[in-house]
Structure 1
Amino acid sequence: MVIRIAVLGSSKFIERLMQFEQELPSIRMDYYIYNTPMEAKDIVPTIKPCDAVFFSGSLPYIYAKEVREKLPIPSHYLRQDETAITTTLLTISYSTSIPVQKISIDLIEPQSVQNVLEDIGQIEHYPYMMKIDPTFDLHDVVSFHSNLQDSGESSLAVTSIHAVYQKMKENNLSVMRMIDPKNSILNCLEETKSMALLAKSQSAKIAVGYIQLTNHTAITSDLLKKISSSIQASFVKTEDNLYMLYSTQGDVQHVLKNNTLEKWFELASSPLKVAFGFGKTVVEATQNAKDALDYVTENTAYLINDHKELLGPFPTNQKQVQLKTNDPKLAQLAKETTLSPANVSKIIQFSRSRKSTEFTAQDLEYYLQVSRRTSERILKKLLDHGYARIIGEEMTYQQGRPRAIYELNFPTYL
């Protein structure tokens, strides 16, 4: 299978890649050239249909983060690792007589240079280094190199940014690009291909859905036709006016990611209940969809995937709740407190969502969307087994009993 990859890079990077693209016969590449890494965010929306997107470095990858995360396909980038540093320094050593302390370098991670020099026993002298990040100013980077050469402290600039290279050349200053080893580029493109193949495989897996009007009346054939066509699904009617959909995981994820669900709700004569299930088999996907249906309320949708993770409610919220516990510590907590894996997962998410480690029963009640009695019962179970403790009280009103302030006493960053 030939995988189509959109490659974003500078003109020189793409020119070099084209010299050995024939060594990747199973990959077809479409090239998109930028002048500065910042332009990547504007290029991504113009990319034609492909299987994955490859960025020539971490800077364009970071700049394009917002639009990149909206893509329905995977994206990857070429990391500037110690192999690139070593190759560049070795090239300078063989082609010039410039000592390392007379070199200026701009790069993402200056520590990489220090690591390489220490590995070869060079610990007395280091180049001048400037750390670059998404907030860098092109003029500042050029000035960094130019000032060092003008003062005689540096004899050669090594840059990771094509626009800096061009500006230095225009100013008749000594400059070279950081060298990305051919093997690193080939390996990274192969990694991108593997990501695309995995995404295709996952997307093609079967998904089962259930759809039902909350008033238990029959869904019109016109609505069923519109729903099934938007998700490329076939459907069958089951008992109690419940309809089962057969689709693929990729189509379901597209529906959940876009505003398709809201269109379904607008077309329905009364509130809809929608549930989806993924699984390694049709039987497992069907059972997961049935289980997800228990969580659904009016005009919402839930999904249980093949990892037994409950996602939803869509389209307004997309929390992820673990419905099974694999971690031994959390399994022990669930066993001792008799709390369900779902509740344990929700408590962990509650903890991660807060800016403070302190909370009240009311805070937990609001987050879990349960009654005060339920939240207090959960807290009592945690307290009884040492997984939570009372650390104080608060009295924000004039009458009544003060409210206890709690703190969790188990790891929540698993």
Structure 2
Amino acid sequence: MYKINVFTAKRSLSWVQQLEKIKPAFCKFHYYAYNDNAHLHELLEKHLDGGDGALFSGQIPYFFAKSYFQEVTVPMHYFDISERDFYRTVTELFYEKKIAMNRIAIDFCYEENGYLGIHEWSIGEKPFLFSQTMSEFASSDIIDKAAEWHIQLHNENKVELSFTRIAEIRERLALQNIPFIAFYPSLYAMQLTLDHFVKQLQIRQLNQNKVVVVHILIPIDKSNLDDLEYRQIALYKAILDFKQLYACSFIVHREASFLAIITTYQQFLSTTDQYTHCQLVDFLNDKLSFPVKIGWGIGDSLIESQEFAKKAATLCSSKETQGYIIENTREIGPLLYATKLQFDDEKQQYLKTLSTTYDIPLLQLQKIDAMLEKLTTTIVSGELLSTHLGITVRSANRILKQLHEKNLAHELPSNTSSTRGRPKKYYQITLTNKDIN
């Protein structure tokens, strides 16, 4: 049974409650009607994340929730006017009252709903539109702005009729003797929205029911194998401490050189801050005297998740505690200590193109890019690259030389000093802003 909280202006409650006529048997609606923004904020604070999802009577309460409760992750959607609703009213209006389209003011046509198709046939007779984009409804004073817009157009005799979706301005228009038609979604439009929203809830539930596996590799010092037992015990204790501190739903399994954890997708999202930062990396980095490799695996089965987790762990550096995530075909990381990963699909696509163009392993570019973000500098030496990538200094210098040859890094002039030995070479890496078209 899905519990869906529905937030609506009191003036819209009657049509919103038509949901009861079309609700699926596995949905239960809880209605919260507000008087003003302060009341809406109070209701959202109490009930927004108390269900499986939230529906809103329109764009205004929807954007209000998005703006003031950004940390809430439950699915949200709003009811809107369909083209079918719009044209049924418009057609009747044209035939009965003969009002021209360019004498009408509309506050619910914008780019995001395709202007309800009015630009396709109203050439030369376009109505007055309140906004070209729905983002205008995120404004805190949207109700006053919309009301003043309608009133001004009528006072200037530019329009004869207003179309509005905003329940809160109807009384103000009536007091000004402004003729208007109040629109609200038909049962048909509400059904379309509800069907789409239920699919969102079902997909989310499937994702949350996924089993996630964490594979934590313990580095083995071949010259001191007796130290392995100490490291295993220290890691196991640290995981138990983490589990208790954060009340995690972890099932922990110990092996000689690694530790495996089985958990839920919801727990994974919480522990990795929605794929961007791993609390476990921070905690183990602070608690352990040795680095570990943390691999997260998310697949369609337990066995697949285990394989992904093992592979993800091997992607981590051996010189500092790191995390990596593999979800089906997607590799995300490295998750570094005290660093939030700015995972960006557009950027990842750019790195993939860069990898293909310059014949450089994608994972190598991703690690270098993450390192530069962590260090907040583009100037590195072989030693620095070696430390953060978990490779030898010789390998790091070879990578820098290859980047230099491919014009992705520039060697900086060496500073002369009186110290003996060869001076360090520094390179400025320039992965971004490359013309690779």
Q: TM-score range by the shorter chain?
A: 0.7 to 0.9
Q: 1:409 is paired with a residue of what secondary structure?
A: coil
Q: What is the Cα deviation at residue 103 of structure 1?
A: 1.8
Q: What is the match of residue 316 of structure 1?
A: 338
Q: What is the match of residue 180 of structure 1?
A: 185
Once residues 350 and 239 of structure 1 are traced to their aligned partners in structure 2, the CA distance between those partners, rounded to angstroms, is: 31
Once residues 43 and 253 of structure 2 are traced to their aligned partners in structure 1, the CA distance between those partners, rounded to angstroms, is: 43
Residues 74, 282 of structure 1: alpha-carbon distance in 2 compared, 3 angstrom cutoff: same
Q: Greater shift after overlay, 398-407 or 84-93? A: 398-407
Residue by residue over 1:53-100, the C-alpha shift from the partner in whole angstroms, topping out at 9 and shown as x without a partner, is 223333433332255542343223345564554344235335644332
In the alignment, residue 138 of structure 1 is paired with which amino acid?
I
Residues 29, 155 of structure 1: alpha-carbon distance in 2 compared, 3 angstrom cutoff: same
Report matched runs for 1:107-146 at 5 Å. 107=108, 109=110, 116-120=117-121, 122-131=122-131, 132-135=136-139, 136-146=141-151
- Give the alignment partner of residue 343 of structure 1, picking from 344, 364, 371: 364
Once residues 81 and 116 of structure 1 are traced to their aligned partners in structure 2, the CA distance between those partners, rounded to angstroms, is: 10
Seq. identity, %: 17
Q: What is the match of residue 225 of structure 2?
A: none
Residues 103, 269 of structure 1: alpha-carbon distance in 2 compared, 3 angstrom cutoff: closer
Report matched runs for 1:15-414 at 5 Å. 15-26=14-25, 27-35=27-35, 43-47=43-47, 49-66=50-67, 68-79=69-80, 82-83=83-84, 85-93=86-94, 96-107=97-108, 109=110, 116-120=117-121, 122-131=122-131, 132-135=136-139, 136-211=141-216, 216-219=231-234, 224=240, 227=243, 230-240=247-257, 242-257=258-273, 261=279, 265=283, 270=288, 273=292, 274-294=294-314, 295=316, 301-311=323-333, 313=335, 316-319=338-341, 334=355, 337-345=358-366, 361-362=379-380, 369=388, 377-378=398-399, 380-381=401-402, 384=405, 388=408, 406=430, 408-410=433-435
Once residues 22 and 110 of structure 2 are traced to their aligned partners in structure 1, the CA distance between those partners, rounded to angstroms, is: 30
Q: Residues 106 and 164 of structure 2 are in contact (CA less than 8 Å); yes or no, is this contact kept in structure 1?
A: yes
- Unaligned runs of 5+ residues in structure 2 are 220-229, 418-422
Residue by residue over 1:232-263, the C-alpha shift from the partner in whole angstroms, topping out at 9 and shown as x without a partner, is 232222114x4322222122222333999479
Q: Residues 87 and 181 of structure 1 are in contact (CA less than 8 Å); yes or no, is this contact kept in structure 2?
A: no
- Unaligned runs of 5+ residues in structure 1 are 354-358
Once residues 332 and 281 of structure 2 are traced to their aligned partners in structure 1, the CA distance between those partners, rounded to angstroms, is: 23
Q: Residues 218 and 231 of structure 2 are in contact (CA less than 8 Å); yes or no, is this contact kept in structure 1?
A: yes
Q: Residues 10 and 34 of structure 1 are in contact (CA less than 8 Å); yes or no, is this contact kept in structure 2?
A: yes
Residue by residue over 1:333-387, the C-alpha shift from the partner in whole angstroms, topping out at 9 and shown as x without a partner, is 646745322234456789999xxxxx96549979x9559987775565456567x
How many residues get paired? 397
Q: 1:50 is paired with a residue of what secondary structure?
A: coil
Q: What is the Cα deviation at residue 193 of structure 1?
A: 0.8
Once residues 221 and 113 of structure 1 are traced to their aligned partners in structure 2, the CA distance between those partners, rounded to angstroms, is: 57
Q: In angstroms, what is the RMSD of aligned CA positions?
A: 4.8
Q: Residues 311 and 320 of structure 1 are in contact (CA less than 8 Å); yes or no, is this contact kept in structure 2?
A: no
Q: Residues 52 and 193 of structure 1 are in contact (CA less than 8 Å); yes or no, is this contact kept in structure 2?
A: no
Residues 16, 315 of structure 1: alpha-carbon distance in 2 compared, 3 angstrom cutoff: farther
Once residues 115 and 343 of structure 2 are traced to their aligned partners in structure 1, the CA distance between those partners, rounded to angstroms, is: 43
- Please give the TM-score of this superposition, normalised by the length of structure 1: 0.74
Residues 398, 330 of structure 1: alpha-carbon distance in 2 compared, 3 angstrom cutoff: closer
Residue by residue over 1:252-278, the C-alpha shift from the partner in whole angstroms, topping out at 9 and shown as x without a partner, is 222333999479939986468554221
Residue by residue over 1:135-161, the C-alpha shift from the partner in whole angstroms, topping out at 9 and shown as x without a partner, is 354333222222332343322222232
Residues 184, 249 of structure 1: alpha-carbon distance in 2 compared, 3 angstrom cutoff: same
